[in-house]
């Protein structure tokens, strides 16, 4: 398979991928605000640095990118053809790290993972968040 991007183009594309304040994360935050919830961001003292921390509810929310965390949706099943072994190992290590962090957090916190694909429908997302925080 021929790589269609030069190394400089690939480097630029990868540099544009953010870890904080992503569009899916901003969507989840907007829905939480509209529901009247107050939260903190990126809990540094907690395992995995959850994207959203709702201390009053002893709840944390991770907003996962489907590709990076290997969701079972069509976006998460994409497999890069170039440097495939590296990407498979990288993504599998993300999944394993997520599992360890959830296990550690569940001792004292309620944990929810919201997938990037779930943020595309705000009504469904709102119902999921309400159910998580009220249930």
77, 126 contact by CB (below 8 A):
no
Measure the CA–CA gap between 62 and 50, rounded to whole angstroms. 5
- For residue range 9-55, what is the model confidence (pLDDT) as tens digits? 877 877 777 777 899 999 999 999 999 999 999 989 999 999 999 99
- For residue range 76-96, what is the model confidence (pLDDT) as tens digits? 888 888 888 998 999 999 999
Instruction: Say which CATH architecture domain 19-134 belongs to.
Output: 3-Layer(aba) Sandwich (3.40)
Domains of the chain: which residue ranges? 19-134
pTM of the model: 0.86
């Amino acid at each position: 398979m021929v790589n269609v991007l030069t190394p400089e183009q690939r480097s630029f594309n990868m540099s544009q991928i953010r870890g904080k304040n992503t569009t899916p994360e901003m969507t989840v935050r907007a829905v939480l605000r509209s529901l009247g919830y107050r939260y903190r961001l990126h809990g540094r003292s907690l395992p995995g640095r959850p994207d959203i921390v709702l201390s009053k509810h002893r709840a944390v929310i991770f907003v996962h990118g489907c590709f990076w965390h290997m969701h079972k949706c069509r976006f998460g099943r994409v497999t890069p053809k170039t440097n495939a072994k590296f990407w498979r190992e990288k993504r599998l290590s993300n999944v394993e790290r997520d599992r360890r962090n959830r296990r550690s957090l569940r001792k004292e916190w309620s944990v929810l993972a919201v997938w990037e694909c779930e943020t595309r429908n705000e009504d469904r997302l709102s119902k999921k968040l309400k159910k998580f925080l009220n249930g």
